[in-house]
Structure 1
């Protein structure tokens, strides 16, 4: 009996829990009904997990297993034969009356013989024949199979969905990384342009200040030359005779008194630039908060 039960278990499909029909083998070595595994994989595109061990198959590759199908038919036949034999063996007798058990009490869920149905304990109970009761409860048990199969299928779909989530998460993270990479590339391009523009302004200011300094030096050089000529003239005038000294004295005195020193142009340093402050200024907004 144990060996037959083990054989039946091996000949069953893990999806429909029934004997294998047109069995096929997938990459991991597990076997299923062709229709069951095709239905299990119908929503998959690139990964096909095993319903038993969740091992992913790389492609839709089903190998027909004719020998296993034949073994399943043998197990099914053995099961039917043993069921008939077991039914014959289970024709037990009532322990109280030593009569064949022929009825079933639905209230007490107890197998009875004809005499048991006539005792006071079962007279008012719902009692029916053994065959009728077995048929009723067999249908009741069969009604559980579809919901259980549906739960298995639903959980399997949930497992398949969960297996896809890491791949989808990786794809989302890669898209986000590419987006951030693009944003930083644009930011670097902006910084390069700002650096070039800032250095260009610094160069122009340096050139402008250099021109001012050269002009300032030229003006002082010309003023020194004027001073030297006037000094020479004054020195020569001061040693002349009275008549020559006083002749045209007003002109030379006016020139000495009207001398104006050229203005000194300050050699100021260029304006200091802060690239960070300039960037921050572009994104700065004045916000007035509600006091409440």
Structure 2
């Protein structure tokens, strides 16, 4: 293949740049280019003063030409060399100017276009920077090698982003599923007023999940297509760099346009919404109150009325009606205090009521006189709220804000505010639990609000 190419170049050197046939009676101009004597005289016919070389446009001062005897003998020898099919193909592939049908020897840096010598004097390319194709090819070859490095770096970066996006897709789906599970658990705890809304919210979240997944898939498709374009252009440029000067510069503007029009697709990012549903304002206040201020309490058996049975874990108390009537010598009211007390801060606890009967919840001072006939009231250091449980289970939340002087009561079954007491507190306050002696079988249990994972 190398021999055939060298032979083709030899035959090209023995050819006239004007007629492209073997040189006949070759003559040499002052600038060193060779032509058929008839071809060069025909080209200069009608010109006066200066005569431009058809190849380099060097102005010859006159028509004096030197006959090149040695080249004439070499041309005769070249004509005798057999021409193979591949050699003829190489000869036929010598590009010509489509407008003037002359060899392409110049390159326009402004229009990125191959030109012949005749194009230089045309109106379209006057006063434009034209350089020999050898010089232009060397310059653009250096530039293309830089583009190869830049494209390689771009491709590596896009591949890295693609891998990250591909790896993040399962994580995004897992986060969405975890949030759906969390939402489900929250709705389950407050089923009484969230059951209908849960179905709507779950559907909205599923739509959002599908939308995020579709966008991630589409973004991966765009990045993958961009990778394909980069890879294709990279291969095309690398192949272009290996071609001959003329072939390299042919349609070089298309590569420049392709590289200039490359746009890296934007990376899709998402932000998971933590709250995407609307609930009554008091719910979120109550929910945050529970999570932030809930305390663990235990009952103090030493303060329990004889009609009250405190469980072994000190978390529950049950009222029983004594056979001979309640013992009224030490306790007038069937009450019990918590082992823990508070003299500052905010505190929240939950009491579960089971059975049927009248009961009281609140706080009292540790010095509250519980062995007298005096009714509990703020005047003697007891702040309580009377409630009735017809049957079933009822969860009541009590919130103490010591500095603000407030005790608030909430129905956790309905997620609603019930009642509030406002006063000025001094000294330690103890959570207070009391069951009316007229009640049937009633149980109070201090419970921990189940928190979401």
**TM-score in terms of structure 2 length:** 0.21
Larger helix fraction of residues: 1
Q: Which structure would you say has the larger Rg?
A: 1
Larger strand fraction of residues: 2
